[in-house]
Amino acid sequence: MRAKTKNIVKNYLSGKLRFAEFAITNACVAQCSFCGIWKQTPKVFVDGEKALDAIDRLADLGVSHITLTGGEPLLHPMITDFVRKASSRGMHNAVLDAAPGLLLRNDIISRLDDAGADIISVSFDSGDPAVMEKSRKIKNIYEDIKKAVSEIKKTRMKSMASMLIWNENHDKLEEVCEKAADIGFDLISLNYPTFSESDVYELGGEGVNLSRERLIQSLENAIKLKKSRKYNIINSSISMRNIINYLKNPASARYHCFGGKRVMFVDWFLDTHPCMQLKTSLGSVLTIDKSALGLPACNKCNMSWYRDFSMFFQGARTIPTILESLASVGYVVR
């Protein structure tokens, strides 16, 4: 059994399994209208040696999948060291990227592959190149994406289109999914629009100011697209249906979020939070004890990453979600 698969199974059977996002910098090349992180000053890059210790600590706590994010994580000079550390601890890992031109420099794709990265997730929010350039303020972003995905295909890594549902695509999801498939993305992940309460991770803006009715309709369409099996959408239909129920009436959401228990967010100051949405700090990741990771289930927002992963911890009701998710990603773990 491959090392990362073995680690996931071991932690799941022992009851330790957790997932984490680690934002390693607030510096970013993109200037997205729905994110305020790129406006922050001063620019902060997490201390490299402490970050390596943080990844060790997360592994000790049972984190079996880690997403390295930002800002733009490729701007951190030690990004490949972080990936290598995560892989050495048997952690399945993904690297997010908002500026695909960076993937075409300094042989970074090959270096990430050698370090053991599993997924490179590239922001992809429109099938129209002009809209992509305008929304992210990056010239030729569409051509850079195509070139980067082509290069990723030469490696052992998977490419994933990270697709935010927003004003420009909420009624065009199939068009965007089709473009992502044409480019060659292996996977598609949908991000549900939200407004953050966090002072560190600033999300929101006019671009994601969708009505509940429009978002519900978009998620209904996403479920249909997933069931059609034309596109490898990794969000489970069960989780998306749960978010629809939440949007209609929060009390009707059957499955709540385990942020601060099974999923967590670590920022560039090494503070641990139940998710990137909330102000709540659980303490430094370097010293945090598992006893601090016992927050009650939350039903406060529709943050996709945290609510989707929380679906794996819903008792017997979890099994259909796990099976659906494994089928979506093809369960290829290095």
- Domain boundaries of the chain, sorted by first residue: 3-329
pLDDT score for 205: 76
Residue in this structure with the two tokens 């060659």, named with its chain if needed = 184
pLDDT tens, residue by residue, 26-67 = 999 999 888 888 999 999 999 999 999 999 999 999 999 999
pLDDT score for 76: 98
The band of 123, judged by pLDDT with boundaries at 50, 70 and 90, is very high
CATH number for region 3-329: 3.20.20.70
pLDDT at 322 over 90: no
Full-model pTM: 0.95
pLDDT at 323 over 90: no
Tell me the C-alpha distance between 137 and 179, whole Å.
Answer: 20
pLDDT score for 79: 98
